[in-house]
Structure 1
Amino acid sequence: MRNRGFKIYCLVLVGVILALAAEPLWSRTSIIDDAVFDEFDEDCPEGEYFTVVDEESGEEVFHTARLVHVGDMYQTMDNRMYEVISIDGFTGKANFLGIEDIEEPSAWFPAFLEAWGSAGFMPLFPHAQAQGANDVKISLYHTHSDESYLPTDGASSIRDNGGIYRVGESFAEALQNNGVQIEQSKKSHDPHDKKAYARSRRTAQQQLRQQNPNAILDIHRDALERRFYTTQIDGKDIAQIQLVVGRQNPNMRTNKQFAQELKAAADKAQPGLLKGIFYGRGSYNQDLSPRALLLEVGTHKNTRAEAKDGAKEFAKVVAAYLGASAPNSAAGFAREGTAARSSLFFLLALLVIGGLGYLFLSTGSIEEMGKKLRQFVSAEFSSSIGADDEKSTDSTEVPSKKRGNSEQEVKSQVDDDQETHDPLS
């Protein structure tokens, strides 16, 4: 009975883990791949942008040329998380939610969720840490193929041939120099309208099928004043990077995890390079992969050279995070140390809680549960002692039998000798 109960407990435990890991059936990527998503304008009119302030202090929290909606969130450079609670024209107010602790992102369990929970029943790709340095693959594409950099390109928008392609090329080259295999699609998805993401979705799906990448990134630029996207590294002006996560997609949890871990690695390797993470309405095709992100590389007021330099710096972070570059850089930062230990403790706690829960359900009360535990420990201890005693008895009896057999053999031999040498025979 104990064996049967243990087997039932194991099945229950596996079920709990799968339940935690799995998204509801209706959120499976395989089901929604060809779904029709709501189309809506995502950019402000040319020359306009949103300013979102803290509702209490009035301090500016973030700026973006993307349309902002109530419920959108923003994670600042210092990891303060805000939620937009009201919109008035191009000004929004946000409520401070708290500090996001991303110093030590968790290791094994979120990776398990990523591979088995949010992307469908089977993993979309092997986990990067299980691959060799030369196996890391990233796919790049450009939903807004017209986006350009005014000071260099002479216009902020060039249909089908925007300066964003050249920035993507520099990003791809830097990734390759850091050991990553790259596939950059230069397919145009213009015009820059509300159907652009539906067109680029087909490109992303094709890349995922053909390349099976570890990550897929949609490269954009923002449309703000230059001062909002410019920092200095080693005395040189470069464009900052902003990550965008779609909050209306079943992979939002793992997309967020990916974005936050990249930010943690960037903050460690090159503080100030990554200006924040915007969690906006829509999916941005990120439902296709748990490692899909949208990157804003500078703004149209940055020079293309500044955008290229920012992309090159970020490429080092991405390659290191995915395990393609040197192990002593930012590589593996998000998967080591305390994170791994805390994950083991989490699993241990899950096992203990699952076992106690099963025992409580099978006994019906805490008193009976305690009694069963005492009986189990006592029975197992007694069984162990009894088994040792049996082994001890067996080890002493066997030589005794051997001695008895030897004595009988000797006596028989003596009798035979006597019969052979008897003078009366």
Structure 2
Amino acid sequence: MKMIKYKNIMLLTVLLLLVTVDVKAENMYYNMVDDSGKIVYTTGWKVRIGDEFITEDNNRYQITSIQGQIAYVKLLEKKDVAQLSHFFVSNFADLLELQRVYAQDNKKIAIYHTHNDEAYVPSDGTESSDSGNGGIIKVGNVFSDALAKEGLEPIHVDTNHVPHDDMAYERSRRTVVQLLKQSPAAIFDIHRDATPPEAYQANINGEDITKIQLVVGKYGPTGKQIEEYALQMKAASDEQYPGLVKGIFFAKGGDYNQDLHPKSMLLEVGSHTNNREAAERGIAMFAAVVPSVIGVTSANNSNIEGKSGVGTPAAGISGSVKSIGWIILFFVIGTAVFLFLSTGSMREAKGKLSNFRRKEFANFWGKKYNKDKEK
């Protein structure tokens, strides 16, 4: 019996070692260096050969070798995420907006913290709170308040998941499952990174802020969908606040609970070496990007109440409905002009159109046409 018990303990230990998830180690970060010797990216995430990331200027790199805290990378491609975003907007915006006219917008945004102990040394006096009430919770509060000002409905929970170890994501997974019961449109897991301060420092519109890193897990059924979501989010951010999103890091250590929701994103808001106040200003800016990415509109002059407003009396007739009306009008006018030019007179054009209606649409009009003849 004792032998079986010991075997079970050993098996459990092995399983725990196999399912470990990458976590950041304080004061341990990696500089990504390209062929010219230039540092193109810095992150506190554990990196592996083959890992990929997208920089602030949308260059996609892959890690080819690692020596200590230096990761050597090669350029894979330059992704024009802004052009991709404009393509979708120009070709599908009206269609998507029309769909939202007939479907109630979901404005619920869930926010939680897998590592709720994380803090900011300059402001909080420590990099981690043993109680789990780290400064990252205050950053989440600011994010929640900023989302509410955009007309969204944030659901911010500060559930404790300490200690800060490999199993924290398993504990926070239970939190996500509970949040899913409220059917949020998107879910954000708010963290801070562990790098030198300059990796995240920025000034946008005269405000000192910290940049934001998007983290995408590579495992799970939603992996590719999450990657496309991150690209869309960066494109929207680049358009509204250039330089706000530091980049996208593809972490191979796990799915980070992103397999539970197609619009789930892990955000790194600054580093432990940055001021929390700067992180709060950065996340407040990012909140303004969220509505367009999840498919709802934020407060504007046409949307008096600051809610979604699409298709409501406050917002007036939507742009897509107006566009469809113009398309129909142009079609009718174009048809009339074509018939006039092909026949030479309005009378002959009218007769040709009437003849076309009787012959070509006889089956479509069916009973109504027959009833008209009987009368």
TM superposition score normalised by structure 1: 0.62
Deviations along 1:123-154, one digit per CA (max 9) or x if unpaired, are xxxx9786546x31110110001000111111
The one of 50, 57, 74 equivalent to 1:71 is 50
Q: Which residue of 1 aligns with 2:125?
A: 154
Q: 1:37 Cα deviation (Å)?
A: 10
SS in 2 for 1:93: strand
Aligned counterpart, 1:243: 214
Q: Please name the residue that 1:183 is paired with.
A: 155
* 1:198 counterpart (147, 167, 170): 170
Amino acid at match of 2:29: Y
2:237 aligned to which of 266, 278, 281: 266
Of 95-104 and 148-157, the range deviating more from structure 2: 95-104
Aligned to 2:258: 286
Supply the AA of the counterpart residue of 1:46.
E
User: For residues 236 and 267 of structure 2, what CA distance do their matches in structure 1 show?
Assistant: 16
Structure 1 residue 288: deviation in Å?
A: 0.8
- The TM-score with structure 2 as length reference comes to 0.70
- Pick from 276, 281, 287 the counterpart of residue 315 of structure 1: 287
Instruction: Give the Cα–Cα distance (whole angstroms) in 2 for the partners of residues 129 and 249 of structure 1.
Output: 33
Task: Return the structure number with greater helix share.
Answer: 1
The offset of 1:299, in angstroms, is 0.6
Partner of 2:297: 324
Task: Give, in angstroms, the shift of residue 328 of structure 1.
Answer: 8.8
Match of 1:303 in 2: 275
2:183 partner amino acid: N
Q: Are the equivalent residues in 2 in contact too, given 1:142–1:165 (CA < 8 A)?
A: yes
- Higher Cα Rg: structure 1 or 2? 1
- Give deviations 1:273-331, integer Å, cap 9, x for gaps: 111000111211111111111000011111111111001000011123332304699x9
Alpha-carbon separation, structure 1, partners of 2:25 and 2:231: 30
Are residues 279 and 128 of structure 1, via their aligned partners in 2, closer, same or farther at CA, if it must alter by over 3 Å? Answer: farther
Structure 2 unaligned runs (5+)? 1-15, 93-98, 303-307, 309-318, 321-355, 363-375
Mapping for residues 23-42 of structure 1, pairs under 5 Å? 38-40=18-20, 42=22
Find the aligned partners of 2:101 and 2:79 in 1 and give their Cα distance.
Answer: 25
Which amino acid letter does the alignment assign opposite residue 218 of structure 1?
A: D
Shift of 1:43: 3.4
List aligned pairs for 1:375-386, cutoff 5 A: none
Distance 1:96 1:197 in 2: 31
Match of 2:344 in 1: none
Corresponding residue of 1:82: 61
**RMSD of the alignment, in Å?**
2.9
- Inter-partner Cα distance in structure 1 for 2:102 and 2:27: 46
DSSP-derived class of the 1:211 partner: coil
Q: Work out the CA distance in 2 between the residues paired with 1:139 and 1:244.
A: 17
The one-letter code sitting in structure 2 at the alignment partner of 1:152 is: S
Percent of residue pairs bearing the same amino acid type? 41
Give the Cα separation in 2 of the matches to 1:291 and 1:138: 10
What's the CA shift string for 1:93-122, capped at 9, x where partnerless?
1121111132234659xx9xxxxxxxxxxx
CA contact (8 A) 1:139 1:213 kept: yes
Quote the residue 1:58 is aligned against. 37
Gapped runs of 5+ residues in structure 1? 1-35, 112-126, 338-384, 392-425
What amino acid maps onto 1:233 in structure 2? I
Whether the 8 Å CA contact 2:21–2:167 is kept in 1: the answer is: no
Q: Which residue of 2 aligns with 1:102?
A: 81
Aligned residue identity for 2:168: A
| 1:277 aligns with one of 243, 248, 264 | 248
**Alpha-carbon distance between aligned partners in 2 of 1:167 and 1:388, rounded to the nearest angstrom:** 69
Q: 1: CA distance between counterparts of 2:297 and 2:256? A: 26
- How far apart are 1:46 and its partner, in Å? 2.8
> Deviation digits for residues 23-81 of structure 1, max 9, x if unmatched?
xxxxxxxxxxxxx9953252354312111111x22221211111011221110111100
AA matched with 1:274: V
Partners of 1:320 and 1:326 within 8 A in 2: no
Distance 1:130 1:239, change over 3 A: farther
* Contact kept? 1:145, 1:161, Cα under 8 Å: yes
- Equivalents in 2 of 1:77, 1:107: separation in Å? 21
**Alignment pair present for 1:91 and 2:62:** no
Q: Give the CA deviation at 1:156.
A: 0.5
Contact 1:180 1:324 in 2 (8 A): no
User: The residue matched to 2:266 in structure 1 has which SS?
Assistant: strand
Q: Find the partner of 2:228 among 235, 251, 257.
A: 257
2-side partners of 1:388 and 1:270: how far apart? 58
What is the SS of the residue equivalent to 2:114? coil
1:175 to 1:90, Cα distance in 2 relative to 1, 3 A? same
For the residues of structure 1 that align with 2:50 and 2:21, how far apart are their CA atoms?
17
Q: 1:44 to 1:188 in 2, by over 3 A?
A: closer
Aligned AA (1:220): H
Q: Aligned with 2:255: secondary structure?
A: coil
Q: The residue matched to 2:289 in structure 1 has which SS?
A: helix
Change (3 A) 1:232 1:130: farther
Instruction: Supply the AA of the counterpart residue of 1:236.
Output: E
How many corresponding residue pairs? 283
